[in-house]
Amino acid sequence: MSLVKKKRLTFFDVINTAFLVILTLIIAYPLYYTVIASFSDYQAVATGKVSILPVGFQTTAYKAVLENDSVWIGYRNTIIYTVFGTMFNLLLTIPTAYVLSKKQLYGRGVITWFFLITMYFSGGMVPTYLLYKFVGLVNNPLIMIIAGGLSVHNLIVTRTYYTTSIPESLYEAGEIDGCSEFGLFIRMAIPLSMPIIAVMALYYAVGHWNSYFNALMYLTKTKYQPLALVLRRILIMNETALDAAMASDLDPNLVADAAARSNLVVTMKYSLVIVASLPMLVVYPFIQRYFVKGVMIGSVKE
């Protein structure tokens, strides 16, 4: 006789499974539609004929995007900003959170409130711009790396991890063995905080990858602009191509070409989403287990 009894399928299990399946389809369909629309004919997309499978399969939209040299420059810039920006963010966030997790830190509450105030009050857009201009960060790629170097929300989450997940007795044992505070951080805190480091790295990396406002405000030189701003510029240029051609006395062939580029925008919108999102979609599965563990911090009170 088997020691494992088969669990009876209850009415709740059926309803719950059906609900989760429907919810998954609702969440996944927009991404799926974006993919099939990017490979479909623009007329089919514009008239709503695309629903389950691509209609008039073509890769014209992707060719129009990827053949543009500025896209690859934008990719290069975004990768650089994401890698070095995330490293800079972690360099500020992890040590600061570790220090604030120490109960014996003098003035710990005041320092924490000092950080919290910045979540609700800022200097404003114009003073911030003047400050960055004064220190020479306008039209400087460093603005995309060091601006907003520390997220207070991420700092609080990381501090909570150190407070609740690593017992104080572990640090005390290290001190008895003669380990310094810096040694405790490097040899004990860092190895034990890989889940939260992975979560913070993901948060910061996604923020850097999708960042466009700082570039829009502080970078006018196209050679420094990230992918998000480059794709935005391509989309706007193609949308206005027909209007610009019709406003001037151009050759009919040029007008026809401008009309084709303007129509291509219908499917190009979807291809731009795929081009911009694909790297993050590829990376996420590899750190998903750390992400799930990290976001549960503080959900259960011990």
**Residues contacting residue 51 through CB under 8 Å, at least 6 positions apart:** 33
How many CB atoms are closer than 10 A to CB 50? 21
CA distance 63 to 236: 17
- pLDDT tens track for 263-290: 677 777 788 888 888 887 787 777 766 6
SS3 letters across 76-123? HHHHHHHHHHHHHHHHHHHHHHHHHCCCCCCCHHHHHHHHHHHHHCCC
What tokens does 194 get? 């890989």
pLDDT of 90 > 90? The answer is yes
User: Which residues fall within 8 angstroms of residue 300, CB to CB, at 6 or more apart?
Assistant: none
Q: How many helices (H) and strands (E) does the chain have?
A: 16, 0
Q: In this structure, how many other beta carbons lie within 10 angstroms of the beta carbon of residue 220?
A: 11
Give CA–CA dist 129/147, Å, rounded: 11
Poorest-confidence range of 51-55, 59-63, 244-248?
244-248
What one-character-per-residue DSSP string does 142-199 give? Answer: THHHHTT---HHHHHHHHHHHHHHS-HHHHHHHHHTT--HHHHIIIIIHHHTHHHHHH
Going by pLDDT thresholds of 50, 70 and 90, the confidence category of residue 258 is low
List the single range of 5-14, 23-32, 93-102, 272-281 with lowest mean pLDDT. Answer: 5-14
Looking at every residue in the chain, the average pLDDT score rounds to 80
The residue among 100, 165, 169 whose CA lies nearest residue 298 is 165
Query: Does the pTM of the predicted model rise above 0.85?
Result: no
Locate the domains of the chain by residue range. Answer: 59-295
Between CA 182 and CA 191 the distance in angstroms is 13
Question: Closest by alpha carbon to 80, among 205, 199, 196?
Answer: 205
Measured CA to CA, the distance from residue 274 to residue 290 in angstroms comes to 25
pLDDT confidence bin for 86, thresholds 50/70/90: very high
pLDDT higher than 70, residue 211: yes
Q: Which CATH code fits 59-295?
A: 1.10.3720.10
